[in-house]
Structure 1
Amino acid sequence: MVTTYVTESRMSQGPQGGAARAAVLLLTLGAPGASKLLKYLSPDEIRAIRQGAVGLEPVSRAQLEQLVEEFQNALKTGPGLSGPAQQMKDLLKNALSPEELATILGDEDVDDHEAAAFDPGSGSVWTDLEKVDREAIIMTLKREHPQVVAVILSKLDPDVATGIVIKLEPVFRHDVMRRMLTVKPLALPVRLLVETQIRQGLLASPEQAGGNRFTMLAEIANRMDKRQTDELLEAIAAVQPKDAVSLKNLLFAFEDIPALPLKSRFVLFDGIPTETVIIALSGAVEDIKNGVLEALGARARRMVEAELAQKNSVPPQDVAAARRLVSKAALRLASEGKIVLREEGAAEEAA
């Protein structure tokens, strides 16, 4: 908390320098508010603000009010908005991932360069598909819905499409070609999904295709509750023990935190806002609470313990959402090689 005592001689001066002034403004917001802003700052900016706070004298209420007023005036007297439409587009690009942007806006304001951000090779997927063995394509398309086949064939060179169509069963072929007459351009998210599935299925090597099957199943299982996931692993382990181990290595739920190596927990919770941790731990068993608290810094740990001691009621949907955020962060960090979800050999023993 900002100290309100200051001598009269210093009262009019107030904090000097941008970093010092920013530090004061962040302190007035408190930990919950400041944490929302800090995650948007670079490490260098955070270090500069921290350094700016080191030499700060106590700040009076009058100085604080003056600083806030200057901040508000700076917003009022700014240069205005030179191009709102483009500025909004740039803002959305910076705030949202390409996938989120495409899902919300569809093809609007999303050019081909931005679409390629989903998959760097997606622009040539149809050309690559035309080079695949025809029989392999035909065998795959026979198992697909006619509408999917119609979309794929409409993207191929006519000579290639003809070589595929004539090998299809007559009834299936006629249904596909009838649907080709009414095929409409796909919305960007749908088109990218189709192209991704083609890359992972028809264009992937056998090794990649096998890995993709596990990845896709893991993405589904990670969205199920813990009980359902455990039942799935038991069912697979009964007939395919090695596959169960491979799948388990890709799974992580909030309830798995105690099994997460301590070093990995440090990395994980270093990037989770304290307020999210507090909500996620609401109603958690002691084993999970201890596993999380052990990985927090002294200050963050005291804050979390103080909040949990108040036993505030938190809506179940908020608790579930916070826990999903923690799980997603763990899976993302694991995919980036920054943490390991289990100690070496732990998955095999569990299976």
Structure 2
Amino acid sequence: MAADPSKLTGPEQAAVFLMSLGEQAASSVMKHMGPKEVQKVGTAMASLERVSRGQVDYVIQQFSEAVQDQTSLGIGSDEYVRSVLTNALGDKAGGIIDRILLGRNSKGIEALKWLDARSIADIIRNEHPQIVAIVMSHLDPDQAAETLLFLPERMQSDIILRIATLDGVQPQALQELDEILETQLAGKSSAQSSMVGGEQAAANILNFMDGSKEAVVMEGVSQVDEDLAERIQELMFVFANLIDVDDRGIQTLLREINTETLVIALKGADEELRDKILKNMSKRAGEMLREDLEAKGPVRLSDVEAAQKEILAAARRLSESGEIALGGKGGEAML
């Protein structure tokens, strides 16, 4: 963990703050967090060593200032959430706001996030494909991608097609679906539509799929709607788009990747991207990587795709935590 308090990551600050509250209070807070947040903060807690008084004081001071600056006294809670998220996330806030405000009582659907992909697939595999698409749109993209692989192959393209063309779910329909799922799990609002699904959601899910599986699914979508397939493809962030990540972002990403994975991934990269990677390494590390690339014999395409997917997954994790900014297809435009 960083010695300088100001360099603590978000999860590390949350971990320090929660541990300073004591076990009971920390447990109460974490009950209101989602699975992704619990995992990140839990990992940070496990890695905490020798937390200094200065670090604790800094985190508490930051929390105190945030509370004072963002108090919702005199403001309706829904309006406050909308205002804070819109200011923080801009255009990206819409779907998240709907998910929080319209889906905050969605116990059944939200509970699925705590299950493994195979269990989710078992629960939804016999539902109508449109129901499956709605459920998948509520999952995080990586979890949805893994769940899709456990569904029958004949369904996969149809589900992605439905996700891409899904533009809203009426609250009453969402509530009924939620109650059905809650009942199933127990055995083992506003007039607006809840904004889930869409072409970007479909692209995000496909980003996490194995290359060969992704190609099969996209081929199925293309046969039904070629224009839609092209639009989804345009929104996907692929390995070649790493060329649009700035040098600092590439350096941060390289610290998360082992050399063998990088060598295999670069076997399928063009010269421009290779050069970008090499220029962001130390001279010695760059020379060793060149030697490894030259010495590496032929590599199966499936191995190259798997290595590239692993690196892209690391890039997305870093992007979600705010450590790097992804550009190009599927990324946020930088001005």
**TM-score where L is the length of structure 2:** 0.38
Larger Rg: 1
